[in-house]
Structure 1
Amino acid sequence: MAISIETFFLDPEARGTLQAQIQQMIAEGILSGRLRKGEKLPSSRKLASHLGVSRITVTLAYTELLANDYLEARDRSGYFVSRNAPEPSKLEARHPKQDKVDWARAIGHRFTGGVMPVKPQDWSRYKFPFIYGQADPALFDHTNWRHCALQALGQKDFRALTADYYDQDDPRLLEFIMRHTLPRRGILAEPDEILVTMGAQNALWLTAQVLLTQRRTAVSENPCYHALRDILMQSRCHLAAIDVDHDGLPPEKLPEQADVIFTTPSHQSPTNATMPLDRRKELLAKAADMDAVIVEDDYEFEISFLRSPLPALKSLDSDGRVIYIGSFSKSIFPGLRLGYIVGSKPFIREARALRASVLRHPPGHIQRTAAYFLSMGHYDSLIRKMGLVFSERRKVMETALADHALRIGGQGEYGGSSMWMRAPEHVDTERLDFMLREQGVLIEPGHPFFDGPNPPKNYYRLAYSSIPASRIPEGISRLAEVLKNYS
């Protein structure tokens, strides 16, 4: 039986190439049971004419479906749904008529309740997106990343693509981190002192899980990365939040006894303060006196375009008490979710075992693609390009902020990708954010970064990582106008 050509149509909202859309349309028809085994498909010429595409596009789609056993070709008869095509599911999807579980009692641990900033998924639709942590398509080296991904898909990398490393990582990526990335931070490490993670946040979670218990005390900066505070709260440890100053975490304000100290010395998140060398040494000495472990999140150290970054805390550590966390996600692109932990062998051994029990390892193909991108020099080129562009954008933003007398709460002396802003005391930046969206302006309210039941509402963050320099002055002008009329 021939399938009616009217069955086939292309969704005008669909994404991907026309060939891919045709493949998906036919495969979904087979998997749903709408197109049955042995039924004849329209000829490539008729389907092409019906869909308004070239005949070669339909022929290529049919050929791909033939290779994947969705279709079969019969001499002088055309294409048919294959007798070996995947069977449509015989199970009827059902939803419980009534949920009788008392989930308030059944849930043993709660992970909701943290203050997580809400960033619009359609941020690129806004003309003035002063939001942090999104990839700028004008900067991302898409061509070379695609080439590296294709190389990682090659036959010689078949094992890296398909193997289950269990608790291990791609040796090529480890080699680059060990011989190139870490020495630039003054750090020497062996392979069994490095663990690849799904970004810095995953590294922080693994670290907290291994080091903290209900009886131990963790120190965090205030304000700090909001996800870190949620992680520490979930560990049920005692938490001491220490207010930062213009040089970051002040060692003299640490409690008399602490077990783990979390800090971002390169660019304090979110204030951008950089911890001076003397304070870094003082922090190490204080931690030694308490026999505490320091977790160093080397946040944005690569984006130090104003001057060379200071040595990492880990490089100054002679006792093995610093656990170092790095990430490629912010500098390459956020969706990469690839970071690493460097620490003493006993700690890495436990973190590796924990990671294996949760997610085994980050996907091998992603690790190998990143290894090629790094080792071929594309990463260094990307960092240099970002530094030049961010330097220009920062100068434009500083001028615009000064022209409108907007108060800067903190800006990195070494660089970075954002500025920490302070509005007048009566301003609630959550409401300000809502008002600005009507003007096409996106900002990041600051209250989720603060600890305590009554965080200040008048701080906000302006990033210049996702907005071209040409749009910054008008965006700041609109921000200043809304602030002036705020009541």
Structure 2
Amino acid sequence: MAISVETFFLSPESQGTLQAQIQQMIAEGILSGRFRKGEKLPSSRRLAAHLGVSRITVTLAYTELLANDYLTSRGRSGYFVSDNAPVPPDFTPPEKGEETVDWSRAIGRRFTGGNTLEKPHDWASYRYPFVYGQTDPALFDHSNWRLCALQALGQKDFTALTADYFDQDDPRLVEFIARNTLPRRGIIARPEEILITLGAQNALWIAAQILLTQRRVAAIENPCYYALRDILNQSRCHVAPVDVDKNGMRPGQIPGEADVIFATPSHQCPTTATMPMARRKALLKRARAIDALIVEDDYEFEMSFLDAPTPALKSLDTDGRVIYVGSFSKSLFPGLRLGYLVGSESFIREARALRASVLRHPPGHIQRTAAYFLSLGHYDALIRRIRKALSERRAVMQTAIDENGLRVAGTGVFGGSSFWMQAPDQFDTVETAKHLQSQGVLIEPGHQFFQGPDRPTHFYRLGYSSIAASRIGDGIAKIAQAFDGN
């Protein structure tokens, strides 16, 4: 029996090359049982014409499936599903009965119902995506990242690809961070004081698990990174919010019982305020006076295009009080999930043990690929390109905001990739965001960044890392119309 050519189609959402998509399409058909042993596939010429691709693309896909024993070739007769092809399991699943478990009692701790902001997965399809933290494909260096990934797959990197590091990390990546990344922030650290994490959020979770208990107090900025608040709530510690002003967290308002202070001094989240040097020294002095530790999240220092960034808070630390959190997810791409912790060796030793018990270590191939991308100079070239684009977009957005009479509540002194905005008091930006989304405009409501039951609802964030400069003006105009018309 021949398999109809109409069975095959390419989905617009499919990822990978056309050859890979065709291979996957046929393999899935075989694994699902739709294509059976001995059935004939359409000729390469006919399938190519049907799919609108070149014949060589189909031929290469068939050849690869032939090599993997999914297909077999019979002289001039064409390609058939191989007798040795994998087959789906032949069993009848049992009928699903009524659940008798009372999950409301069985679940000992709940992790749902937090403050995580929901962003549309198809944000890139919107014409005006003022979303924060996403990667612009027009700026990312796909070709060199691909080459580094292939290099990391090479025979000489076999150990980095396949080995179980247990609680260790790729020495090349750690060395680059120690010798290149950290010195740019004024930080000197030994490899024993550095731990690779699955992004900054994983680093914050590890720090909270080690430093906090139900009896300890964590001081956080208000407003702050909403995921950090979820992490602290899950740790069951006491949370003490400290209001921020145009210079960031106010050291004098940090309670004396605070054990750990979480801060974003270089680029406050979400207001983008930069803490001046005098206040940084005051923060360190306050932490020393109450014997508290500081967890510094330096999440966007690479995006400094207006002026050179102020040295990290940890560079001013003389008694090992500051634990530093860095991330490549913001500067490379969020899906990378690669960050790092820097702290005293005693702390990193515990962090390494905790990480090993949960996930052992981030994948070796990802670490080695990032190490090559960084050490070969591709990262610095990418950062220069991103800074230039963000500088242009920021200027366009600032002009559009001024022309449309919108109110800016916070702008980064050194750059960044977002504006913290304030709408008139009577507005609920959650409802405004829903209205704008129907017009192809995405904004981020700001209420989830605040602590407490009476969170202000008239703040919102506008990111410009993922929207072309040519679309910013029209998008800002639509936002202004929404606030004028509601």
Q: TM-score when scaled to structure 1?
A: 0.94
Is residue 476 of structure 2 the alignment partner of residue 476 of structure 1?
yes
Alpha-carbon RMSD across the aligned residues, in angstroms, is 2.0
Residues 156 and 408 of structure 1: is their aligned pair in 2 closer, same or farther, counting only changes over 3 Å? same
Cα deviation, 1:273-322, whole Å, max 9, x if unaligned, reads 11111111111121112221110000211111111111111111111111
State how 1:193-342 maps to structure 2 within 5 Å. 193-342=193-342
Task: Specify the alignment match of 1:424 in structure 2.
Answer: 424
Is residue 121 of structure 2 the alignment partner of residue 160 of structure 1?
no
Task: Specify the alignment match of 1:396 in structure 2.
Answer: 396
Structure 1: distance between partners of 2:121 and 2:288: 44
* Aligned 8 A contact 2:273 2:413 in 1: yes
Task: Specify the alignment match of 2:108 in structure 1.
Answer: 108
Residues 438 and 40 of structure 1: is their aligned pair in 2 closer, same or farther, counting only changes over 3 Å? closer
State the one-letter code of the partner of 1:165: Y
Secondary structure at 1:213 match in 2: coil
Secondary structure at 2:373 match in 1: helix
State the one-letter code of the partner of 1:10: F
State how 1:329-368 maps to structure 2 within 5 Å. 329-368=329-368
Structure 2: distance between partners of 1:32 and 1:401: 54
* Aligned 8 A contact 1:268 1:299 in 2: no
Structure 1 residue 95, shift from structure 2 partner? 6.5
* Aligned 8 A contact 1:199 1:339 in 2: yes
Is residue 4 of structure 2 the alignment partner of residue 9 of structure 1?
no
Q: 322-331 vs 63-72, which deviates more?
A: 63-72
Structure 1 residue 3, shift from structure 2 partner? 3.8
Task: Specify the alignment match of 1:373 in structure 2.
Answer: 373
Structure 2: distance between partners of 1:242 and 1:160: 44
Cα deviation, 1:47-86, whole Å, max 9, x if unaligned, reads 5566665443333122211222323445666544334432
Structure 1: distance between partners of 2:45 and 2:394: 56
Residues 187 and 74 of structure 1: is their aligned pair in 2 closer, same or farther, counting only changes over 3 Å? same
Secondary structure at 2:410 match in 1: strand
Secondary structure at 1:108 match in 2: coil
Structure 2: distance between partners of 1:111 and 1:64: 44
Structure 1 residue 342, shift from structure 2 partner? 0.6
Cα deviation, 1:246-279, whole Å, max 9, x if unaligned, reads 1111110010121111000000000011111111
Q: TM-score when scaled to structure 2?
A: 0.95
Structure 1 residue 213, shift from structure 2 partner? 0.6
Structure 1 residue 355, shift from structure 2 partner? 1.2
Cα deviation, 1:149-205, whole Å, max 9, x if unaligned, reads 222222222222222222211111111111100111111111121111111011111
Structure 2: distance between partners of 1:51 and 1:245: 58
Task: Specify the alignment match of 2:120 in structure 1.
Answer: 120
Residues 74 and 105 of structure 1: is their aligned pair in 2 closer, same or farther, counting only changes over 3 Å? same
Task: Specify the alignment match of 1:144 in structure 2.
Answer: 144
Structure 1: distance between partners of 2:56 and 2:210: 57
* Aligned 8 A contact 1:287 1:294 in 2: yes
Residues 299 and 34 of structure 1: is their aligned pair in 2 closer, same or farther, counting only changes over 3 Å? closer
Ranges in structure 1 where 5+ consecutive residues have no aligned partner: none
Structure 1: distance between partners of 2:132 and 2:50: 46
Is residue 74 of structure 2 the alignment partner of residue 81 of structure 1?
no
Q: 54-63 vs 269-278, which deviates more?
A: 54-63
Structure 1 residue 367, shift from structure 2 partner? 1.1
Structure 2: distance between partners of 1:386 and 1:252: 37
Structure 1 residue 463, shift from structure 2 partner? 1.2
Task: Specify the alignment match of 1:133 in structure 2.
Answer: 133
State the one-letter code of the partner of 1:130: F
Structure 1: distance between partners of 2:48 and 2:291: 73
Structure 1: distance between partners of 2:273 and 2:51: 58
Ranges in structure 2 where 5+ consecutive residues have no aligned partner: none
Q: 98-107 vs 53-62, which deviates more?
A: 53-62
Structure 1 residue 32, shift from structure 2 partner? 2.1
Residues 55 and 210 of structure 1: is their aligned pair in 2 closer, same or farther, counting only changes over 3 Å? same
Structure 2: distance between partners of 1:448 and 1:113: 12
Structure 1: distance between partners of 2:351 and 2:12: 44
Task: Specify the alignment match of 1:191 in structure 2.
Answer: 191
Cα deviation, 1:313-360, whole Å, max 9, x if unaligned, reads 111111111110000111111111111001111211111111112212
State the one-letter code of the partner of 1:228: L
Structure 2: distance between partners of 1:367 and 1:422: 40
Residues 294 and 436 of structure 1: is their aligned pair in 2 closer, same or farther, counting only changes over 3 Å? same
Cα deviation, 1:398-431, whole Å, max 9, x if unaligned, reads 2222222211111111111111111111011111
Secondary structure at 1:306 match in 2: coil
Structure 2: distance between partners of 1:135 and 1:58: 32
Secondary structure at 2:249 match in 1: coil
State the one-letter code of the partner of 1:212: L
Residues 116 and 42 of structure 1: is their aligned pair in 2 closer, same or farther, counting only changes over 3 Å? closer
* Aligned 8 A contact 1:223 1:449 in 2: yes
Structure 1: distance between partners of 2:294 and 2:206: 14
Residues 37 and 473 of structure 1: is their aligned pair in 2 closer, same or farther, counting only changes over 3 Å? closer
Secondary structure at 1:244 match in 2: strand
Q: 255-264 vs 116-125, which deviates more?
A: 116-125
Structure 2: distance between partners of 1:279 and 1:185: 18
Secondary structure at 1:408 match in 2: strand
Residues 52 and 459 of structure 1: is their aligned pair in 2 closer, same or farther, counting only changes over 3 Å? closer
How many correspondences in the alignment?
A: 485
* Aligned 8 A contact 2:10 2:51 in 1: no
Structure 1: distance between partners of 2:129 and 2:40: 51
* Aligned 8 A contact 1:193 1:344 in 2: yes
Question: Identity percentage over the alignment?
Answer: 68
Residues 7 and 305 of structure 1: is their aligned pair in 2 closer, same or farther, counting only changes over 3 Å? closer
Task: Specify the alignment match of 1:181 in structure 2.
Answer: 181
